[in-house]
């Protein structure tokens, strides 16, 4: 991505340089200047500031001709973020470094009916304990990111009538968590957060446009289009759980029948497996499945058919997404993808072949290598993306008159400082 030689947007140029060095694993100053279009002196000034902030380190290496070069690389341990993945029954909390690597992790169980503020208090206590475990002081914390299931209102940082979270309706999660942690908090849809984590350090790192299918307790997609997350008006783009795939299917909590999540999530596949057992009685029925593991493990043909039908239903929806969005890549991620993603990968890849045109092959289908920690890693990278990924929003020079700082669907996305020690409150305006 190109930089600009306008002095008043030096913070943006720092983001460009840091992002470029991170993407390539190490670059010389002349290489940075050539890639960005910035003057070599401008690059030198930026590098000096980033070295002083400990965001970059410099190594001396010898090239093939025996001459030494000074190459710059990102100091992965210069700064950290807290990642928080909220699910219907538990919360994962982690300390994550600039490389997107988890340095400390904890899982908290949410008791049935537990008050949201009590959960927030436990998250804050866990985060502080993890910082101590990882040996990370507050001066190196950039902030916290939280991935939450939709529907959300990212303008207010609230959950909107979440079906699996009784008592959380319109709860101002972002602001409550920010107050409890004493640091800036960014909130996003859990699938979008996981997609950004994949874009930061996974298979999506080199892709401009891809669809990330998050498969956990719930189901959703994160959309990276043109190198940036696509969120929609309030942050709920990619909600595929309630796409109707069978009008004659079982009722869903949303009021419709036969929604995709009723067949593809762990609870949905378990329900379908139990229904298949009942229909097979009295002859030829396998043992009653108690958990999703009973469905996925072993070689019971009846259960394999249930999983295959789930894979085909998801494949049908992904094909339609691919028709509309024309991505270069589809990534399956999250705990269920790590557990049984191969069956879904095969079904989706096979169905995508119908999009094949001369000179335009269908998008690749891959299983994320981040694994079961995709959600919490992605939540932390909300902060890293916000600070260290060049976007046009970072060229904004002021908050419009009468607007709240950071107004917009993703309220806190446009701060531009790179220095790890420059922790900001979420209520502060971007610097001009």
Per the structure block, which two tokens stand in for 10?
Answer: 């030096």
What CATH number does residue 222 fall under?
3.30.420.40
Asked if residue 137 and residue 283 are part of one domain, the reply reads no
Closest CA to 12 of 393, 394, 422: 394
Residue ending a domain, choose from 55, 74, 93: 74
pLDDT over 90 for what percent of the chain?
Answer: 59
The domain boundary residue, chosen from 74, 99, 119: 74
Cα-based torsion angle of the residue sequence 200, 203, 205, 207 in order, rounded to the nearest 10 degrees: -140
Give the structural domain span for 68.
8-74
The answer to the question of residue 430 being in a domain is no
225 belongs to a structural domain = yes
Residue 354 and residue 213 in one domain = yes
Within a domain: residue 398? no
DSSP 8-state secondary structure symbol assigned to residue 361? P
Question: What is the full DSSP assignment across 65-84?
Answer: TS-EEEEEEE-TTS-EEEEE
pLDDT the model gives residue 149: 86
Q: Residue 383's closest CA among 54, 141, 114?
A: 141
Same domain, 364 and 225: yes
Of 44, 74, 104, the last residue of a domain is 74
SS3 call for 329: strand
E strands within 251-397?
Answer: 329-333, 364-367
**Domain contains 222:** yes
Looking at residue 9, its pLDDT comes to 42
**C-alpha span between 54 and 74 (Å, rounded):** 9
303 within some domain: yes
pTM of the full structure: 0.83
Question: Are 16 and 158 members of one domain?
Answer: no
Residue ranges with strand state E in 203-359: 210-215, 219-225, 228-230, 329-333
Dihedral, 389, 394, 395, 398 alpha carbons, nearest 10:
-170
Residue 238: strand pairing partners: none
Residue 402 resides in a domain: no
Residues 295 and 165 in one domain: no
381/346 same-domain check: no
Whether 42 and 65 map to the same domain: the answer is yes
The number of domains in the chain is 3
In this prediction, residue 254 carries a pLDDT of 87
With contact defined as beta carbons under 8 Å apart, do 348 and 359 qualify?
Answer: no
> Has residue 317 been placed in a domain?
yes
Whether residues 248 and 173 fall in one domain: no
Residue 58 is part of a domain; what is its CATH number? 1.10.10.10
Q: Note the Cα 259 to chain centre separation in Å.
A: 24
Ranges in the chain, pLDDT < 50: 4-9, 394-419, 421-432
Do both 360 and 214 map to the same domain? yes
Indicate whether 64 and 189 sit together in one domain.
Answer: no
Considering the domain architecture, whether residues 364 and 222 belong to the same structural domain is answered as yes
CA dist., res. 156 & res. 411, Å (int):
8
Flag whether 13 is in a domain: yes
Please state whether beta strands 185-189 and 141-148 pair in parallel, antiparallel, or not at all (unpaired).
Answer: parallel
Q: Cβ distance 379 to 105 under 8 Å?
A: no
Q: Count Cβ neighbours within 10 Å for each residue of 354-380 and write b for 16 or more, e otherwise.
A: eeeeeeeebbebbbbebbbbbbbbbbb
CA separation (Å) from 166 to 75, 251, 260? 42, 19, 22
Q: Is the dihedral of CA 280, 286, 287, 293 positive or negative?
A: negative
Determine the Cα–Cα distance for residues 326 and 320; give it in Å rounded to an integer: 10
**How large a percentage of the chain has pLDDT more than 70?**
86
386 and 297 in a common domain:
no
């Amino acid at each position: 991505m190109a930089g600009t030689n306008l002095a008043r947007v030096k913070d943006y140029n720092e983001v460009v340089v840091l992002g470029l060095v991170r993407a390539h694993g190490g670059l010389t100053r002349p290489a940075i200047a050539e890639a960005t279009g910035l003057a070599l002196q401008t690059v030198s000034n930026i590098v000096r500031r980033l070295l002083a902030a400990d965001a970059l380190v410099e190594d001396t290496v010898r090239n093939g001709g025996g001459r030494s070069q000074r190459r710059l690389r990102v100091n992965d341990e210069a700064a950290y973020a807290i990642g928080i993945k909220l699910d219907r029954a538990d919360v994962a909390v982690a300390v994550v470094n600039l490389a997107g690597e988890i340095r400390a992790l904890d899982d908290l169980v949410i008791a049935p009916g537990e008050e949201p503020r009590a959960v927030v208090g436990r998250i804050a206590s866990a985060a502080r304990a993890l910082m101590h475990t990882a040996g990370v002081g507050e001066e190196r914390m950039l902030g916290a990111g939280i991935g939450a299931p939709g529907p959300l209102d990212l303008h207010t940082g609230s959950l909107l009538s979440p079906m699996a979270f009784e008592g959380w309706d319109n709860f101002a999660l972002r602001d409550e968590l920010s107050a409890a942690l004493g640091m800036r908090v960014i909130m996003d849809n859990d699938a979008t957060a996981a997609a950004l984590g994949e874009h930061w350090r996974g298979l999506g790192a080199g892709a401009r446009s891809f669809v990330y299918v998050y498969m956990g307790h719930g189901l959703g997609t994160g959309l990276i289009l043109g190198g940036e997350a696509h969120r929609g008006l309030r942050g709920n783009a990619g909600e595929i759980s309630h796409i109707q795939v069978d009008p004659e299917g079982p009722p869903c909590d949303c009021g419709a029948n036969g929604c995709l999540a009723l067949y593809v999530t762990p609870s949905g596949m378990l329900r379908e497996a139990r229904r298949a057992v009942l229909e097979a009685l009295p002859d030829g029925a396998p043992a009653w499945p108690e958990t999703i593991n009973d469905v996925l493990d072993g070689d019971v043909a009846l259960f394999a058919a249930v999983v295959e039908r789930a894979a085909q239903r998801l494949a049908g929806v992904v094909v339609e997404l691919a028709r509309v969005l024309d991505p270069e890549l589809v990534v399956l991620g999250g705990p269920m993808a790590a557990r049984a993603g191969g069956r879904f990968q095969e079904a989706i890849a096979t169905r995508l072949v119908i999009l094949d045109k001369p000179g335009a092959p269908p998008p690749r289908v891959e299983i994320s290598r981040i694994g079961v920690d995709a959600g919490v890693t992605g939540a932390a990278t909300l902060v890293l993306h916000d600070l260290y990924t060049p976007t046009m929003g970072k060229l904004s020079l002021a908050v419009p008159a009468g607007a709240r700082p950071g107004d917009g669907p993703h309220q806190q996305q446009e701060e531009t400082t790179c220095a790890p020690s420059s922790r900001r409150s979420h209520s502060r305006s971007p610097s001009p």
